[in-house]
Amino acid sequence: MKVLVIRAERGKVVKDEVVEGELKDVVKGKALEALNEWSPETSDFIVLKDERELELPLPLKPELVDALRSIGSLSRTKDKAIMRFPVYTISFENKMVSEDKYVEYKVYLLAPYINDDLKTELEAEAQDITTEKEAPEGIREEEEEG
């Protein structure tokens, strides 16, 4: 299986590659790499699995159906196929900056490689995850009433 591996740091994709291997093995390998860079004194170490959906127009070629089924689950409606597949996030340099604000500085995003459109979408997501956001001007946290 082809696995997409994206590494983002502080709002930039610093590396993306498509590697051959079982998804779970690639995730574990990247988690070990990230673990070696992780500083337990300053950051959490988090591995999250999320299920995503991708809609594809029908008809699909039989070989594509087989490939998609090997990646995740596949269902269909009258006019489209719906594929569900896992996306893993490994966060290894992050910080809690306030009670409700958590910033991730370095992450890996891993998913089955499906196509370049999804790769572009996940790269944008990795950039967004690692971009520190400013609160909109004029908005401040509500103070709790005692």
Residue spans of the domains in the chain: they are 2-53+88-129
- Region 1-21: what's the mean pLDDT? 97
Contact 111, 37 (CB under 8 A): no
Contact 95, 42 (CB under 8 A): yes
pTM of the model: 0.85
- Strands 46-57 and 101-112 come out as unpaired
- Region 50-69: what's the mean pLDDT? 88
- Region 128-141: what's the mean pLDDT? 70
94-120 residue pLDDT tens = 998 888 788 999 999 999 998 899 999
Which carries the bigger pLDDT value, residue 9 or residue 114?
9
